[in-house]
């Protein structure tokens, strides 16, 4: 099924993609059957390429559900999730996995690092899975750890790192493949507020340096203030979203 393949063209950078990179059309996600919960309720949304947006809303308003749909980790019950015009939900599992691997980086609240691998090995893993030779994967992992400010902790196991350091490793792992979309679900939710701001600054730096589109779920107004706009959810609906002009950052 090569027709569904999305791959970045050689020589193109993510920020060359003009127009609305991600669109949700009437996206609905219902959990369960007997006592069904409508976590997202007919959401229409456009996220322009090159933007850095926050998603805010009360607990249970559908933020993680939205992020999981954008990540291709989950599919809408009805409606569409379009990535550069391709419906993520219509791809088979294998093609969706490939899009996730090649195009999307994800950061979670609780880091999700593999405890038996060093920082550098955790970061290099997505490259190994994508078929990059070991030596190249390792050097790129170390370069990426340096970019997030962790060069001297390369060989530490996650347990030997602070929360903020673990999250830097997780960010490095998410961006080592140069994804065009970086998603983060409450990446500062498990950190004190000063460390949380540092982590957001790292995400912002990656965004500015690479042009990667960023969507970050947060409860923190100060963190949202570092973003270009805020998508506000309530009861599975979009209460407010930035007005989108066709985006190009440069
Ligand atoms: P948020 O991230 O904003 O806190 P979620 O997207 O996690 O919200 O959840 C939205 C709603 O969907 C909530 O009512 C939640 O209980 C429900 N929900 C989320 N995941 C599941 C699931 N796997 N099974 C059943 N209900 C779920
Ligand atoms: Mg959540």
Does the residue 115 lie in any domain? yes
Number of domains forming the structure of the chain: 1
Helix/strand number for the chain, H first, E second? 7, 10
The closest-lying atom of ligand 1 relative to the alpha carbon of residue 40 is 10
User: What is the CB < 6 Å shell around ligand 1?
Assistant: 31-32, 37, 39, 57, 59-65
Query: Is residue 37 situated within a structural domain?
Result: no
pLDDT tens digits for range 92-105: 888 888 888 888 99
* pLDDT score for 234: 97
Q: How far is the CA of 29 from the centre of ligand 1 (A)?
A: 10
CA angle 31, 59, 185 (to 5 degrees): 85
CATH of the domain at 182: 3.40.50.300
Q: How far is the CA of 35 from the centre of ligand 2 (A)?
A: 20
Mutate to test the pocket of ligand 1, among 29, 33, 39, 63 (most ligand atoms within 8 A of CB): 39
pLDDT at position 244 is 61
The ligand whose atoms approach the alpha carbon of 185 most closely is 2
pTM of the model: 0.88
Ligand 2 (single-atom ion) residues, CB below 5 Å: 63-64
Ligand nearest to the CA of 108: 2
- What lies within 8 Å, CB to CB, of 73 at 6+ separation is 100, 106
Residues of the chain with pLDDT under 50: 1-19, 246-250
Task: Report pLDDT for 8.
Answer: 40
From the CA of 166, how far away is ligand 2's center (Å)?
20
Q: Judge whether 36 lies within some domain.
A: no
Distance from C-alpha of 120 to C-alpha of 99, rounded to nearest angstrom: 23
Residue 170 to residues 21, 111, 129, 209: CA-CA distances in angstroms?
A: 24, 6, 16, 18
Nearest CA to ligand 1 atom 24: 31
- What is the pLDDT at residue 99? 85
Cβ-based neighbours of 61, under 8 Å, separated by 6 or more: 233, 234, 235, 236
pLDDT of residue 102: 84
Would you mind telling me the total number of residues written for the chain in this entry?
A: 250
Q: What is the C-alpha separation between 20 and 65, in angstroms, rounded? A: 21
Q: Which residues contact 216 (CB under 8 A, 6 or more apart)?
A: 52, 53, 54, 55, 183, 184, 187, 200, 203, 223, 227
**Confidence at residue 20, expressed as pLDDT on a 0 to 100 scale:** 56
Q: Is residue 185 part of a domain?
A: yes
pLDDT for 86 equals 84
Does some domain include residue 119? yes
Inside any domain, residue 192: yes
Per residue in 167-210, pLDDT (tens digit) is 999 999 999 999 999 999 999 999 999 999 999 999 999 999 99
Q: Return the residue whose CA atom lies nearest to atom 1 of ligand 1.
A: 60
25 C-alpha to ligand 1 centroid (Å) = 20
Protein residue with least CA distance to atom 12, ligand 1: 39
Give residue 183's domain range.
52-64+94-240
Assigned domain for 17 exists = no
């Amino acid at each position: 099924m090569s027709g569904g393949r999305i791959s970045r063209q050689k020589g193109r950078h993510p920020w060359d993609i003009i127009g609305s990179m991600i669109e949700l059309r009437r996206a609905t996600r219902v959990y369960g059957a007997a006592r069904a919960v409508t976590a997202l309720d007919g959401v229409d949304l456009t996220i322009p390429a090159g933007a850095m947006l926050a998603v805010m809303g009360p607990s249970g308003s559908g933020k993680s559900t939205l992020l999981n749909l954008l990540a291709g980790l989950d599919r809408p019950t009805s409606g569409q999730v379009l990535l550069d015009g391709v419906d993520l939900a219509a791809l088979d599992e294998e093609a969706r996995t490939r899009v996730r691997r090649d195009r999307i980086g994800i950061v979670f609240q609780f880091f999700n690092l593999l405890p038996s691998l060093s920082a550098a090995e955790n970061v290099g893993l997505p490259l190994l899975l994508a078929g990059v030779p070991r030596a190249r994967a390792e050097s790129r992992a170390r370069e990426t750890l340096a970019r997030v400010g962790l060069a001297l902790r390369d060989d530490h196991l996650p347990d030997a790192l602070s929360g903020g350091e673990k999250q830097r490793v997780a960010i490095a792992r998410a961006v080592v493949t140069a994804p065009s979309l970086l998603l983060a679900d409450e990446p500062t939710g498990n950190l004190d507020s000063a460390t949380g701001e540092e982590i957001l600054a790292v995400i912002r730096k990656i965004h500015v340096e690479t042009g990667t589109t960023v969507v970050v779920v947060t409860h923190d107004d100060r963190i949202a203030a570092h973003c270009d706009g805020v998508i506000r959810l309530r009861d599975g609906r979009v209460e407010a979203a930035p007005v989108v002009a066709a985006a190009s950052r440069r």
